[in-house]
Amino acid sequence: MNRQLKGALFVFAIGVFMAALDNGIITASLTTLIYAFDVSATWGSWTITLYTLGLAISVPIVGKLSDQFGRKRLFMIEVALFGIGSLCVALSPTFPLFLASRFLQSLGGGGIFIIASSYVLNTFPKDKQGRALGLIGGMNGIAAILGPNLGAIILQATGNWHWLFLINIPISVLLLIIGGRFIKEEQELVKEKMDWAGIVFLTTAVLSLMYSLTLLEGEDLFKSLLKPTFFTFFLLAIVLFAVLFQVEKRVGATREPILPMTLMKTPTFRWTLLLASFSGMILASVIFIPGFIEQYLNIPREQAGYWFTPLALASGIGAGGGGTLVDKKGPIYTLVTASLLALTGFLLFPLWVESLWQMAVASSFVGAGFGMMLGAPINVLATENTSERKGIALGTTSLFRQLGMTIGPTMYAGFLARSLTNVEEKVYNHLPNEAVPAQAGVTFYMPEGEGLQEKDYQSIKSTFEVIQDEEIRQSMLSGLHQVVGSGYNGLFLSSFCISLLALLGTLRLRKLRKMSS
């Protein structure tokens, strides 16, 4: 690999890390932002939701634009948008302006990964593409994992949430300078009219779908499915997608549509999109591991993040190793290996993990698995029959990965929320019979007026810790420990099932590729 390609890969890796880091880094300051702007927690969550929506919208559009206007030009625009958006976020005097700036920032960050992957697949030698894509995918995964910890460190060091966004500005400027030197435009541009109708319908359809998914409540999923707000936006999304496909069919008769309709008709591409959504759901499950460390292994919150390090290191190793494996053994072999690693790790959590060192082992399996999955293999599969239209194929693939990352947390959080419902009754069953009066349950031992419903784990635990009877206190804390463990067991077992589905989907895709070859 020559010096120019190495320099371009460095620029893309840093760009991907910067963009992926931002949504994780803000979680550490969410409470601070809610207090600073004096808004409710529901409105505060939109700082993350809106960024996710912007990413989902931008990735297929940027993929299309990169084929038409060039990857270098689009990369520069995306980095500039991200930097300007970061500055606007940091200087926002009101919460509506803050949200608008976050959306602008997400439009800049969403396309960087797509452009980087497309550049590698079109420019790098065939035998070097896997390792390069593995590096880019690894930076994407590691950033998502390290974001909350890094955000907490910056917030603690500066005492000011503005620095979480101001640090992006010098990085953006540096990327523009170095990118202008090392990224060489070596693609044949597609000269045709933009599919504006497709862009409008795709944007509104994705917005409606993603918003409807954010309305789902994990604690009572089936009840929330029947709520008018969810039903309205979900139905609107279905209608808009139906109209989009009809529009794209007509557009496809004369020019390339925003969605790769020709590829969508190919079974191998459809299965690749399904695998992309599974990879997003697997990545989403990882964000719950710090909570497991804190709530189940009883590690203080300020220390829990540091025990995330083995997983982060394993994901980086998995991404690099996965890229090398793609170059040597191919994407299918790599995905099979990645799925086996991930499902092994997820199965170890409920069946084996009771201490920190066991958690480190299990999380390393998970990290190596999803790190290997994120970068090279799925992108290679998505673009293997696309000739020069790799940008649009990668954009569609990333859209499905983003949808998986949106669906996953709702499902996983549901296990934790349901485990804490009727917690008084569940904990009561763990109390020694001789210590509990016949007419009283858990409430007999709690401060007057205290109830456990509608409380989170920390509040419940704090309530138990003030009980003076040591035997009862320890029994109730032990009961809470088992209740929380059952919730996390459900979460990890569902992640195991998704990893198993990824494995089965990969085997099905292998069969389809053999049939079509």
pLDDT for residue 105 is more than 80: yes
The candidate with the shortest Cα–Cα distance to 350, out of 306, 421, 285, 260, is 285
Mean pLDDT of the chain: 80
pLDDT, tens digit (0-9, with 9 covering 90-100), for 246-274? 888 887 777 777 777 777 888 898 999 99
Measured distance CA(321)–CA(329) in Å, rounded: 11
The whole-model pTM stands at: 0.81
Q: Any idea which architecture 1-185 has in CATH? A: Up-down Bundle (1.20)
pLDDT, tens digit (0-9, with 9 covering 90-100), for 160-188? 888 888 888 999 999 999 888 888 766 66
**How would DSSP label each residue in 37-94?**
HT--HHHHTHHHHHHHHHHHHHHHHHHHHHHHH-HHHHHHHHHHHHHHHHHHHHH-SS
**What mean pLDDT do residues 380-387 have?**
78
pLDDT, tens digit (0-9, with 9 covering 90-100), for 324-350? 888 889 899 999 999 999 999 999 999
385 three-class SS: coil
From the number of C-beta atoms within 10 Å of its C-beta (0-12, 13-18, 19+), residue 461 rates as: middle
Structural domain boundaries in the chain: 1-185, 193-255, 262-433+455-517
> Are both 1-185 and 262-433+455-517 of the same fold?
yes
The hierarchical CATH code for the domain 262-433+455-517 is 1.20.1250.20
Give pLDDT, residue 343: 94
Q: Which two tokens stand for residue 340?
A: 């086996």
